[in-house]
Amino acid sequence: MSTHQMAKLPSRSRFDAVAFGMGIIQNRIVSRLLRSLLVGFGVMTIAFFLLRLVPGDPVQLLLGDTGTPELVEAYRQMLGLDGTLPEQYLRYLGSVMQGDLGTSINSSVSVNTIIARSLPVTLWLIAVTIVLALALALPLSIAAAIYQRTWFGHTFRVASSILLATPVFYSGLLLLLLFAIQLKVAPVAGYRTTFPTNLNYLWLPALVLCGVMVPITARVLQSSVIDTLDQEFVETAVVRGLGRLTFTWRYLLRPSLAPTISLLGYMIGQLLSAAVVVELVFNLPGIGTSLIVEGVLLRDYPVVQGIVLVFGMIVVIVSFLSDLVSGWLDPRTQT
Amino acid sequence: MQSGPLSLENRAGELQDNGQPLLQIRDLKVGFAKSHGILPVINTANLTLGRREAIGVVGESGSGKTMLCRSVLGTLDRHGARVLGGQIMFEAHDLANAPESVWSKVRGKQIGYVPQSSLAGLNPVINVKTQMVEAITAARPMSVQDAEKEAVELLEVVRIPRAKDVLREYSYQLSGGMRQRVMIAAALAQKPKLLVADEPTTALDVTVQKEILTLISRLRRELGMALILVSHDLAVIEEVCDSLMVMYAGASFEAGSVSVTVHAPRHPYTKALHDSRVDTAERGKPLEAIAGEPPTIGSWPSGCRFWPRCPLGDDKCRAGDQPTLRHVAQQLTACIYAERMGDGHD
C-alpha cells in the first residue's frame, strides 16, 4: 500500500464517524421530543386529577346560594363537569389533542385566548430576568472565583446566602418601596405591551426574580470557575499572553458555563413559580396573575389546567434549549 | 533545512551571543502569602542558563521545581505566591516581581511553555486550530488565514501527521503524545528564546516519552532555543540536557555539567538520586532508595535541609542556615563535606 493510500484511510473513517455522530444527534433529538411529549402528558394528567382533589366545587362557587339542584346539574353538563372522573378526563384529553384547552368556567373566555393574552408578558419577564441574571452572575462569579479568599469572596458568599433565603414577595415589596416609591425610577405597577416601553415595567420585577436566580447560578459558576482556574490550560493561556477578553471568555467562562446553563434549565420551574408571585406583587397581567386571579381563586379548572400545561411545556422547552447551549459551549458534553 | 516561520535564517540575527547568560537566577526566594504569614517554597535557588543551552532541573516533588518554572513564566501570583528576594535576570529584564509592562514583553514572545502532560494543557472546549491561531496572533497580529497556514507549518515541525485534520480536532480526540506535540507546537509559535518544559513526559507511555524527548531535544538544537527541562528522572535529563541543577527542599543543592554532576556528584543527595536510578541499576542487586521522607514545604530542618537523610550528616550540618553553592572541583555544590566525596565512580 502506498503512503498516499495510507493517508487516505483515516479520513474515510473520520467521515464515517461524522455520519455516525449525526445519527446520534438526530436520535437524541427524536428521543428528546418523545420524552417532552410524555412529560406534557404527565403534567396534564397530574394537573387534572390534583385539581379535583382540592376541596371546593367550581359550580357551587359560581352559583352561590341560588343554585337549585337542577341548575347545578345543567351547569355541570354545560361545563363538561358531569359524569365520572375518567369520563371527564378522556373528554379533556380529546379536546387538548385538538389544541383546545377548554373554556373558562368563570368568564366564558376560551383558555387559549387567556393564555395568548398573558403568556407574552410572562415570557418577556422570564427573558429579561435570564439576561439580567447572567449579566449580574457572570462578572460576580468570576470576581468571586479570582478573589475567593479576599473580603470580596467572603461578602459574596454571605450576601448570596442571605439573598437566597429572602422570599420574592418580601424582596419584591422592598424593591418596590425603594425604586418605585422612594426613588421614583420605576412604575409602581402596570404594563404596556409595546417592545421598548415594556422594559420600563419589567426591569424591576426581573431584578426581584434575579434574587432567586443570581445567588444559585453565581455560586455554581463560581465553583466551576475555581475548578477551571486550577487547570493547566489556564496557566498556558497566561503564559501565552492572550488578550483579556479572549482569556476570560474562552479560558475561564466557556469551560465553566455548561453546569450553570444546565442548572438554568432545571431552575426554570422554580423561576416560573417565583414569577407568579412577582406578577401579583407588580400587578403584571402575565400568566401567573391569570393563574391565581382567574384560575385558582375561582376553582376555574380549565384555566388552571391549561396554564399548568403551558408551564410544563416551558420547562421542557427551556431545558432542551439549555442542553443545546451547553453542548455548543462544551463539545465534550455532546458525546 | 526547512523554510517557514521557524527556519534558522529568520533567527540568525537574534542569536548573536553577547557573552551574557540568557537567564540568571540568583538567590531566589519564593513564598506563598498566607493569612498567618509567609510560607516559603523556594529559598536560595540559583541557576545560570546560556543561550542555546539546555539545563535539567531535578528534584523530588515538593522541592520547588514547578514554582521555579512559575517564577520564570510569571504565573506565581495566580497561585498566591510571590518572589520574596533575589533576581531573575532574563535578557535585560529582572523578572522578579516584574510589573505587567515587563511581563507583556516576555510572555508568549520570548518564553515558551510546555506543561506537564498529565494535566490538561489544551483547552477542552475549543479546537486545536483556535488555540494555535491564538498562540500565533497573541504577539503578531495577522489574518486568520495566515495564522492557520502557520499553524499547519508548526504542527508539521513537531511531526504531526495529517496536520490539517488535527487542527479541527479537540483535545479529547487526541492521544496523550499528540496533545503534547500540539503543546510544543504552540510553545514554538513566537520562536521563543527559552522553552520551559515542566515534566513534559509524565503520564505518557514509555515509547511516547522517548519520542517527545527526542523531539524537544531536536527542536531546541535546530531552533537555537535554550531549554529548562524539569524532571524527577535523571535519565531523562542526561539524555536531553547539557547541564543540571539539583533542587531539594526549595534550595539548589548542586549544579554543573550533566556529565560531571551525574557521574561524579559532589553532593550526597545527587549521589543518592543517582544510586536510586532504575535504568542504571545492576541486575540482581536490590534497588537503593533514599531513606526517610523529603521535608514538607515550610517545615525545613535547620542547617542543611538534607541532613536527617544524609549519610554524611553530623552536628555541623544541623547548625546555621542552608549552605549556599560554592565551587568544588568542576561544579557548584551546597554540601559542606563535598571535598570528602571523591572523583571516583561508584
CB B198 within 8 A of CB B66: yes
Contact assignment for B124 to A332 by CB distance below 8 Å:
yes
Please indicate whether, in this complex, the C-beta atoms of A330 and B130 are within 8 angstroms of each other: no
* Angle (CA) B240 B246 B249, round 5°: 140
Mean local confidence (pLDDT), B25-50: 91
CA-nearest of A42, A58, A36 to A304 is A58
Minimum distance, in Å, between the CA of residue B314 and any CA atom of chain A: 42
The answer to whether the CB atoms of A242 and B108 lie below 8 A apart is yes
**B298 contacts: CB under 8 Å, gap ≥ 6:** B39, B40, B41
Q: Determine the residue of chain A that is closest to B189 in CA distance.
A: A240
Region for residue B122 given its phi and psi (left: phi exceeds 0; alpha: psi -120 to 50; beta: otherwise): beta
Does the A111-334 domain belong in CATH 1.10.3720.10? yes
Question: Could you state, in order of their start, the residue ranges of all structural domains in chain A?
Answer: 111-334
Q: Is A241 on the interface with B (CB under 8 A)?
A: yes
Closest residue on chain A to B169 (Cα):
A331
The CA dihedral of A23, A24, A26, A32, to the nearest 10 degrees, is 160
A148 vs B: CB within 8 A: no
Class of domain B8-241: alpha beta
Interface mutation vs chain B, best among A150, A235, A249, A325, most B CBs within 10 Å: A235
Question: A with B: how many residue pairs have Cβ under 8 Å apart?
Answer: 88
Strand-pairing partners, residue B196, are B113, B228
pLDDT-based confidence at B28, cuts 50/70/90? very high
Note the pLDDT of residue A22: 58
Predicted confidence at residue B14, as pLDDT, reads 46
Q: What angle do CA B184, B187, B193 make, to 5 degrees?
A: 120
Distance spanning both ends of chain A, measured CA to CA: 34
Q: What is the mean pLDDT of chain B?
A: 88
Residue A187 burial (C-beta neighbours within 10 Å; 0-12, 13-18, 19+): middle
Work out the end-to-end distance of chain B between its first and last CA atoms, rounded to an integer number of angstroms.
43
Q: In angstroms, rounded to a whole number, what is the distance separating the alpha carbons of residues B11 and A325? A: 45
Closest residue by Cα to residue A276 from A291, A262, A261: A291
Count the residues in chain A: 335
Domain boundaries, chain B: 8-241, 248-340
Residue type, A206: A
| A237 to B123: CB separation less than 8 angstroms, yes or no | yes
Residue A157 φ/ψ, nearest 5 degrees: -65, -50
Q: Which residues of B touch A243 (CB under 8 A)?
A: 138
From the list B104, B112, B170, the residue facing A331 with the nearest CB is B170
pLDDT in single tens digits along all 335 residues of chain A: 444 444 434 444 444 445 555 566 677 778 888 888 898 899 999 999 998 888 878 888 778 777 788 888 888 888 888 888 899 999 999 999 999 998 898 888 999 999 999 999 999 999 999 999 999 999 999 999 999 888 999 999 999 999 989 998 899 999 999 998 899 888 888 888 888 888 989 999 999 999 999 999 999 999 999 999 999 999 999 999 898 899 999 999 999 999 999 898 889 999 999 999 999 999 999 999 998 888 888 888 899 999 999 999 999 888 888 888 888 888 877 64
Nearest CA in chain B to A236: B121
Nearest Cα neighbor of A52 from A77, A99, A89 is A89
Length of chain B: 346
What was the pLDDT predicted at B58? Answer: 95
- What residue has cell string 532574563? B90
- pLDDT tens track for B289-320: 888 888 888 789 999 999 999 989 889 999 88
Return d(Cα A191, Cα A197) in angstroms, integer. 9
| The three grid cell numbers given for residue B45, joined into one nine-digit string | 535557588
What is residue A24's predicted lDDT score, i.e. its pLDDT? Answer: 65
Residue range B222-250: mean pLDDT, rounded: 93
- pLDDT the model gives residue A154: 93
CB B183 within 8 A of CB B115: yes
Of A241, A251, A330, the CB nearest to B109: A241
DSSP run (H or E) holding A12: helix A3-53
Residues of A in contact with B74 (CB under 8 A): 238-239
Question: Which residues of A fall within a CB distance of 8 Å from B80?
Answer: 149
Contact between B64 and B294 under an 8 Å Cβ cutoff? The reply is: no
Q: Which three cell numbers stand for residue A51?
A: 385539581
Question: Which residues 41-80 of A are in CB contact (within 8 Å) with B?
Answer: none
* Res A25: pLDDT: 67
Measured CA angle at B260 (ends B255, B263), to 5 deg:
110
Here the ipTM equals 0.85
Q: Give residue B306's identity as a one-letter amino acid code.
A: F
